[in-house]
A and B are shown apart, each in its own frame.
Chain A
Amino acid sequence: MALLQLERISAQYPGAPAPVLADISLDLGPQQLLVALGPSGSGKTSLLNLIAGFVAPSAGRISLDGVPVKGPSAERGVVFQDDALLPWQDVLANVGFGLELAGVPKTQREARAREMLALVDLAGFDHRRIWQLSGGQKQRVGLARALAADPRVLLMDEPFGALDAFTREQMQELLLQVWRRTAKPVFLITHDIEEAVFLATDLILLAPNPGQIVERLRLDFGQRYAAGESARAIKSDPRFIETREHVLGKVFSQRQVSP
């Protein structure tokens, strides 16, 4: 049973000659980690913005639990590429921000925020200032903040795109652990092929002009990691490499057809 449903979504910015997204349909269910992979210009950020409710589609229907999506809401938590944390508050207050907006009493929201910080391996960082954190730590705070508000689905906008390769690797593993423990459905966009193949239970490949889905894959590498296999063993598995090369080939064949 799909939780989040997109039915024949198209999007066009006012004044633009061509749509950025055309005829996108997809479902996101309870146990899924759906990754949208695509080169720049394939409309993956627009797709996330549509689901988050920051922009409205020009055609089609988006619904969560059968209710049409209208504007942003706490049901759809977002983790941004650029952390978008509030530097005038400490780490604990940032994580509890969503609960503060909802009017949850201070002691209650701080307890919940501490729980979320422990979940992302940042226990004890309560009173650090945002500008004292590294890039990876900021993304973890962003993740904890989105989870603290207990959203129905978690949307992630190239969350590890600005991190160095080593930190990115660690963050991918952390995300899989968090995903398994919280059982939140995740929709993540990225342009990193290896990241997409490693994380996704369901992968959609987007091609530009206009943004459309050209491939759908069901994968299990993330589940194998969750079951205890090491990340390096999975990423050097011939089947992983084969899948990665298949997706890569698909991206380039799309590139050649498009003008």
Chain B
Amino acid sequence: MSSYELPVTTTEPAAQTPIPVRRSLSTRWISLLTLTTLLIAWWAVTATGVIEPLFLPPPAAVLQKGWLLATSGYMDSTLWQHLAASLSRIGLGLGFAVLTAVPVGIAIGANRIARGIFDPLIEFYRPIPPLAYLPLIVIWCGIGELSKVLLIYLAIFAPIAIATATGVRTVDPAKLRAAQSLGATRAQLIRHVILPSALPDILTGVRIGLGVGWSTLVAAELIAATSGLGFMVQSAAQFLVTDVVVLGILVIALIAFALEMGLRALQRKLVPWHGQAH
């Protein structure tokens, strides 16, 4: 094999490497620099008294309040209890949505009749902002947990069902034929070929759904709730407790960020072939 090797001209590696190394570092450093600058600006405008603490409390005060909230609480509940209330609502909504939207999406993608039934229903309610039908849900299901979980469920259901259907419709026909020529039944095709093929799309649907779901949940808690991060922010605002408001917003942002990063990691773990040439 190696007897006909072409002569390779060796170049100095140092002459070519500096550019990629500098580039791989810079993006992260720029992001970090942006965040640090923002924090310093926040600290500067509050420390010099340009902005009154009523409108923007200094970072240290927010941090201190955070400690106080985590240990003794605000409005009868600690920060953890508010957080747990919000997370359990979105967790329940997401769980039910995945369990129902994935089968419905597969049915839409694989079956003409199912597409005829579900497509108009989903396309009808999907463009409506969830908060617009929250009052109706409250009339039907009361003000308790059910109405909030149902709202989240509906917000997450559509993106997952649509993404799943898209994934099913774009399954490589050669893979289906390969499985059929190995003796696959229709059920086996769904289980062994269609579902794994659609998994990258399903996870993308879950990511989009969680983003929509989280913002809907917090907004719903601002309007009608007695616990949760949205409620904490809203009730603190009514008493002009600005540090709790700022802290609440930061925690909400952190959770959204963590959900997004967690799902990206899950996507890398579950579908490592996605984006690979195969």
Contact = CB atoms under 8 A, between A and B. Distances in A.
A77 B183 CA distance: 9
A98 interface: yes
Nearest to A75: B183
A97 interface: yes
A97 B277 contact: no
B179 A85 contact: no
Interface in A82-119: 82, 84-88, 97-98, 100-102
A225 interface: no
A73 interface: yes
Contact of B182 (A71, A82, A145, A155): A145
A94 B110 CA distance: 24
Nearest to B174: A84
B174 A80 contact: yes
Contacts of B178: 78, 80, 84-85, 145
Contact of A77 (B182, B184, B277): B182
Interface stretch (B225-233, B252-260, B268-276): B268-276
Interface stretch (B14-22, B188-196, B214-222, B238-246): B188-196
A80 B174 CA distance: 8
A130 interface: yes
A66 B227 CA distance: 73
A132 to B, nearest CB: 9
Nearest to B193: A86
A72 B185 CA distance: 10
Given A52-B177, A82-B174, A88-B273, A101 B278 contact: no
Given A52-B177, A84-B172, A84-B175, A149 B182 contact: yes
Given A54-B177, A80-B177, A101-B188, A88 B271 contact: yes
Interface residues of B, number: 23
Nearest to B276: A131
B180 interface: yes
Interface in B160-177: 172, 174-175, 177
A101 B181 contact: no
Contacts of A98: 182-183
A158 B276 CA distance: 24
B186 to A, nearest CB: 11
B59 to A, nearest CB: 46
Interface in A183-226: none
A140 to B, nearest CB: 15
A142 to B, nearest CB: 8
A258 to B, nearest CB: 30
Nearest to A71: B180
Interface in A62-78: 71-74, 76-78
A129 interface: yes
Nearest to A155: B181
Contacts of A52: 177, 181
Contacts of A155: 181
Contacts of B182: 74, 77, 97-98, 101, 145-146, 149
Interface of A: 52-54, 71-74, 76-78, 80, 82, 84-88, 97-98, 100-102, 129-131, 145-146, 149, 155
27 contacts: A52-B177, A53-B181, A54-B180, A54-B181, A71-B180, A72-B177, A74-B181, A77-B181, A78-B178, A78-B181, A82-B174, A84-B175, A84-B178, A86-B175, A86-B192, A86-B196, A88-B196, A88-B199, A97-B192, A98-B182, A101-B179, A101-B183, A101-B185, A129-B272, A131-B278, A145-B178, A146-B182
Given A85-B178, A86-B196, A131-B273, 12 more contacts: A53-B181, A54-B177, A80-B177, A84-B174, A85-B278, A87-B273, A97-B179, A97-B182, A101-B185, A101-B188, A149-B182, A155-B181
